[in-house]
């Protein structure tokens, strides 16, 4: 008898900025042959459009309208997701400071979130995906096969972000302060705040090398796959 093809899992990785989600999701995806999807890039693309069209980050109805008119596409690639907004590659632009701040503010609006959650579910249905963000395990895929909440000490996360973006000197403190503010907003917003799902495995990467974080998650994936085979 033929063995059935292995079931493709949905893996959710949530956590604050600078915890290492994107790097881990992209390495894990490569190892498993899965697709990694950065949900934050969708919020960032919409935020960029709001900046370009001069739409207020608090105007929920106008933002929803803008979202419906936008074509936002995530194209997984080896170095992370390539992001197309209305056909234009905005992958680098959406990582800039003004867009980071705008994305966090835009994502507070419940109707914008509802729209995003629907889009993200469409992208993940079928499995074989690692989706990272803030509410993947709690809201987008509450039935995900595996939920990881990746955290780290705030000072360490700030330093990682500054190193990643090669920021030194006077703008370092401003960037760190923005990250703290974004964190506070993401954790305290009324709709889908950043919290671990009750059944998430919490990994604190403060003192863990990246390879060790990856190893632990791979072990959990293997356990899950063994369960689905039996
Ligand atoms: O992961 P990121 O830093 O690219 O996300 C940018 C912003 O988007 C983040 O500050 C909050 C928002 N976001 C969200 O609300 N829910 C998600 N699942 C992903 C991101």
For residue 157, what is the domain's CATH number?
3.40.50.300
Residue nearest to atom 1 of ligand 1 (CA): 40
Among 43, 119, 195, which residue has the most ligand 1 atoms within 8 Å of its CB, making it the best to mutate? 43
Per the prediction, the chain carries an average pLDDT of 93
Nearest alpha carbon to residue 46 among 22, 65, 21, 20:
65
Taking only the tens place, the pLDDT of each residue in 161-182 is 888 878 888 888 888 888 899 9
- Inside any domain, residue 227: no
- Inside any domain, residue 175: yes
User: Does residue 2 carry a pLDDT above 70?
Assistant: no
* The ligand 1 atom nearest the CA atom of 104: 10
With a 6 A CB cut-off, is 103 part of the ligand 1 pocket?
A: yes
CA of 9 to the centre of ligand 1 (A): 22
Residue nearest to atom 9 of ligand 1 (CA): 104
Where helices occur in 70-209 by DSSP H, the ranges are 97-106, 110-124, 154-164, 170-188
- Inside any domain, residue 149: yes
- What is the count of structural domains for the chain? 1
Give the tokens for residue 14.
Answer: 């949530």
Taking only the tens place, the pLDDT of each residue in 96-145 is 999 999 999 999 999 999 999 999 999 998 899 999 999 999 999 999 99
Sheet holding 80-85, edge to edge: 72-77, 80-85, 88-89
User: Does residue 1 carry a pLDDT above 60?
Assistant: no
User: Does residue 68 carry a pLDDT above 80?
Assistant: yes
With a 6 A CB cut-off, is 161 part of the ligand 1 pocket?
A: no
- Inside any domain, residue 226: no
Q: Which domain holds residue 96?
A: 10-221
* The ligand 1 atom nearest the CA atom of 44: 6
- Inside any domain, residue 5: no
Strand intervals (E) in 19-93: 35-38, 72-77, 80-85, 88-89
Question: What contacts 57, CB < 8 A, 6 or more positions away?
Answer: 47, 50, 63, 102, 105, 106
- Inside any domain, residue 229: no
- Inside any domain, residue 145: yes
Average pLDDT over residues 45-63: 98
The pLDDT, as a whole number, for residue 4 is 66
With a 6 A CB cut-off, is 57 part of the ligand 1 pocket?
A: no
- Inside any domain, residue 2: no
Taking only the tens place, the pLDDT of each residue in 82-96 is 999 999 999 999 999
pTM of the model: 0.95
With a 6 A CB cut-off, is 18 part of the ligand 1 pocket?
A: no
């Amino acid at each position: 008898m033929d063995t059935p093809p292995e079931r493709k899992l949905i893996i959710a990785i949530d956590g604050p900025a600078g915890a290492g989600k994107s790097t881990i999701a992209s390495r894990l995806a490569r190892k498993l042959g899965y697709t990694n999807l950065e949900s934050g890039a969708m919020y960032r693309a919409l935020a960029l459009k709001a900046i370009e069209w001069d739409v207020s980050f608090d105007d929920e109805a106008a933002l929803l309208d803008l979202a419906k008119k936008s074509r936002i596409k995530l194209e997984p690639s080896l170095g992370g997701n390539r992001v197309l907004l209305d056909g234009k590659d905005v992958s680098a632009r959406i990582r800039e400071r003004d867009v980071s701040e705008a994305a966090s503010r835009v994502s507070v609006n419940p109707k914008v979130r509802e729209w995003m959650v629907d889009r993200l579910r469409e992208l993940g249905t079928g499995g074989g995906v690692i989706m990272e963000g803030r509410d993947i395990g709690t809201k987008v895929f509450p039935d995900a096969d595996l939920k990881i909440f990746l955290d780290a000490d705030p000072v360490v996360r700030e330093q990682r972000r500054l190193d990643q973006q090669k920021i030194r000197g006077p703008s370092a403190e401003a960037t760190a302060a923005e990250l703290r503010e974004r964190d506070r907003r993401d954790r305290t917003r009324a709709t889908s705040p950043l919290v671990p799902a009750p059944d998430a495995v919490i990994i604190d990467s403060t003192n863990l090398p990246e390879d060790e974080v990856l190893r632990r998650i791979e072990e959990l994936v293997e356990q899950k796959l063994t369960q689905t085979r039996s």
